[in-house]
């Protein structure tokens, strides 16, 4: 039996990346973006081109990412944002729809989509996941995107 395995490497090769970031909970989003940009710089063999698109809230992330994928010219798209539980279940509804929209884009689109949208129970949890204690989820999402860009490059049409 002949078996061939493929695995993406966490090395960027001068690709063009779009990052869609929510301004809502901007203190957290800025930290996620900083972590993502730092990770991309750290893992790049050649300088990558990055375009950052700020949207009002997390709900607007998937639609903007879809427009960017449709426009073309990007090797990967990263979504960053933060939803924090309040007195209602509104954040759960938003988190579900954002995840569904980005998942649909990832499945149907031709470029990888990285998911760095937090859904937390408190502002403290969000801060911790944006780099205070538990690492920076923006950096982790960028690392996954870089691996997927490499893997997509290995998959021939």
What contacts 98, CB < 8 A, 6 or more positions away? 58, 59, 61, 62, 79, 81, 83, 117
Q: Was domain 15-151 assigned CATH 3.20.20.80?
A: no
Handedness of CA 141, 144, 148, 149 (dihedral sign): positive
**Residues belonging to the active site:** 90
Tens of each residue's pLDDT in the chain, 157 residues: 899 888 999 999 999 999 999 999 999 999 999 999 999 999 998 999 999 999 999 999 999 999 999 999 999 999 999 999 988 888 889 999 999 999 999 999 889 999 999 999 999 999 998 987 778 999 999 999 999 999 999 987 5
């Amino acid at each position: 039996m002949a078996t061939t395995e493929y695995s993406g490497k966490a090395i960027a090769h001068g690709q063009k990346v779009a990052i869609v970031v929510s301004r809502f909970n901007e203190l957290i989003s800025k930290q996620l973006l900083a972590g993502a940009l730092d990770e991309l710089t750290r893992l790049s063999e050649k300088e990558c081109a990055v375009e950052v698109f700020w949207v009002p809230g997390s709900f607007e992330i998937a639609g903007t990412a879809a427009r960017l994928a449709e426009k073309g010219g990007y090797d990967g798209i990263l979504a960053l944002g933060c939803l924090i539980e309040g007195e209602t279940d509104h954040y759960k509804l938003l988190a579900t729809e954002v995840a569904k929209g980005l998942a649909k884009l990832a499945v149907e689109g031709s470029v990888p989509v990285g998911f760095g949208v937090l859904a937390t129970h408190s502002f403290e949890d969000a801060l911790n996941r944006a780099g205070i204690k538990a690492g920076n989820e923006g950096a982790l999402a960028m690392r996954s995107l870089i691996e997927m860009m490499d893997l997509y490059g290995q998959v021939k049409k």
